[in-house]
Amino acid sequence: MVDRCEQGACRTIRCENQEVTRLSRCTTQDVAKHERHGNLRNVTATKRIGEVITRGLAPHLRAEGYRKKGRTFRAKGLPGMRVVNVQASQWNWAKQARFTLNLGVYFGELVAMVDEVPKPEPLEYDCMVRSRIGSLMPSGLDHWWQIDESANLEALAADVATAYETYARSWLARMATLEGFVASHAPTRYRAAAAMCLGEGDRARTLLSRAMPRAEVDPELRARLQKCVDRWGLR
């Protein structure tokens, strides 16, 4: 089934509905087979995103202990869980697609410390500290890779892997430490919890006290911050 199309492509996609439905079930092995036979027009661009990730990014992440579920990779082993998500554009269609990488770090222990319920398999948007790959690149601009019928999958896969190794890997490793996290722009209550884990009660007190005036317009947030002060004896 086709979710969307653009401009004049609607009629063509509807006429080829049976073919598009069949192609949407192509596996990454099918993509490789079609490529060998010079028949990449038979593979939807969305499926080719999966092939690019399988060839380039996935081996690097597996080597670092990441496990994949859907288009999200998660890695434990550091205080924070590292999360890498492959986001496809909502405007993708059968012959052309774009994707980017979303990055995040999630601390289940800190969630529990502020009296919230930790998530065993957090998604990128659940993370306390997050970034897009483009924000970490020299330009600082949002960065999307594009796939169409003429795309060189090997070159694209290598480019994605290089971008991860050059810009994302070190950021994730730094944010997944308590020291790196407490200095980030994450929500104050989690950073204060990280400071408490580091035995820095004075730093936690300072973080919370500075956040209190800004929380005046948000009673729920102020109550959460006050609960941390009371729970950790920081009066």
Q: What is the pLDDT, as a whole number, of residue 95?
A: 82
SS3 label, residue 90: coil
Q: What is the pLDDT, as a whole number, of residue 91?
A: 84
* Rounded CA separation 163/193 (Å): 32
State the pLDDT confidence band at 63, using cuts at 50, 70 and 90. Answer: very high
Mean pLDDT of 104-125: 97
| 10 or 160, greater pLDDT | 160
| 36 or 173, greater pLDDT | 173
SS3 label, residue 87: strand
Mean pLDDT of 193-218: 96
Q: What is the pLDDT, as a whole number, of residue 29?
A: 55
Q: By the 8 A CB rule, do 170 and 78 touch?
A: no
> CA nearest 74: which of 82, 85, 63?
82
> Which helix (H) or strand (E) covers residue 119, if one does?
none
Q: By the 8 A CB rule, do 24 and 16 touch?
A: no
| 79 or 40, greater pLDDT | 79
Mean pLDDT of 55-84: 96
* DSSP secondary structure of 214-232: HGGG-HHHHHHHHHHHHHT
* Rounded CA separation 115/87 (Å): 31
| 23 or 57, greater pLDDT | 57
Task: Report which DSSP code applies to 186.
Answer: S
Annotated domain spans of the chain:
9-180, 187-231
Q: By the 8 A CB rule, do 83 and 127 touch?
A: yes
**pLDDT at residue 141 greater than cutoff 70:** yes
**pLDDT at residue 7 greater than cutoff 80:** no
In whole numbers, what is the pLDDT of the chain averaged over residues? 85
Q: Name 150's bridge partners.
A: none
Full-model pTM: 0.81
Q: What is the pLDDT, as a whole number, of residue 32?
A: 52
